[in-house]
Amino acid sequence: MMKNQFFETDLVKLSYYTFGNGPKTMLCFHGYGMHGRQFKTLENQFKDTYTFYGFDLFFHEQTQLQNNSIENIKNGIKKEELSAIFAAFCTAKGIDNFSVLAYSMGSHYASTLVEIIPEKIDEVIIAAPSCLNPGLVVNFFSQNKIGNKILEKLTLSKNGMNKFLESLVKIKVIDEPTLEILLREVGTQQLRFNLYGCATYLRHLKLDQEKYIQNLNQHKIKSYYIFGERDKNYPPKIGKKYLLKLENAKQLIVPENHDMINVNFSQNLLNLLNDY
């Protein structure tokens, strides 16, 4: 079993895993409810190309905020603060430049790095890029004060949260596969607290579309976007307006739903990179 390591700052004790031993560096940001080992399946295919650093993101596995109080969570983390954490990590590891791989929730970390420290980034790979269009529900619970208060109340009640998620399927806001994923992630009080923490603490990471596009083009950063053709939450259409404005971007649509980081992902990624 992979053993994690820790990198500590004033804000966080960050848990991470290292795999692969290639000359290029890849920082990996997993999806909601996952962990820093999520992209381990890429090692066989890419171990001679990249050294991967897979992080347990905030409110996941063994990463811990130095201040885990509700008050601190409500204050949230700023984009500059988040970027400083990973810039410091790279300095400690002697890393000058790196690539970024992200999935779903992790795409908000990736887009933040593009906005704040683009000069350090070689390429960006995002699967199910929720940062491009998080959706009405996510925005309501994270960006709206009333919505965030409702979420806080829901996280105190298991039955309330389950019924709410099931209602979203009925009105076709989320699909059944996404419901199954979410129900697994709200089964305990701690998991429900983690959901509230993610939605609240990361709310300042909302994408600045103009800056994101400008930095990718100005710094000639290659960007790759992978969509599941059956992903009802982040379908391929959300990427259209971005791809039209990006000079070094490529899209791949795979026959998957939202849960696409599976045994096929490594080959799908290899095909995309080779097709650039």
Q: Does residue 38 form part of some domain? A: yes
Look up the pTM and report it: 0.92
Q: What is the pLDDT along the chain (276 residues), one digit of tens a residue?
A: 678 999 999 999 999 999 999 999 999 999 998 999 999 999 999 999 999 999 999 999 999 999 999 999 999 999 999 999 999 999 999 999 999 999 999 999 999 999 999 999 999 999 999 999 999 889 999 999 999 999 998 887 768 888 888 898 898 888 888 888 778 878 788 989 999 999 999 999 999 999 999 999 999 999 999 999 999 889 999 999 999 999 999 999 999 999 999 999 999 999 999 875
Task: Give the chain's domain count.
Answer: 1
pLDDT score, position 1: 63
The domain that holds 22 is classified in CATH as: 3.40.50.1820
Q: 13 lies in which domain range? A: 5-135+205-274
3-state secondary structure of 30: coil
pLDDT score, position 276: 59
CB-count exposure of residue 235 (10 Å: 0-12, 13-18, 19+): middle
Contact between residue 54 and residue 98 where contact means Cβ atoms under 8 Å apart: no
Q: What's the N-to-C CA distance of the chain in angstroms?
A: 34
Alpha carbon 59 to its chain's center = 13
Q: Does residue 110 form part of some domain? A: yes
Q: Which two tokens stand for residue 125?
A: 């790979």
pLDDT score, position 164: 86
Residues 6+ apart with CB under 8 A from 256: 228, 229, 230, 231, 262, 264
Q: Does residue 270 form part of some domain? A: yes
Q: Does residue 119 form part of some domain? A: yes
pLDDT score, position 188: 85
Contact between residue 39 and residue 30 where contact means Cβ atoms under 8 Å apart: yes
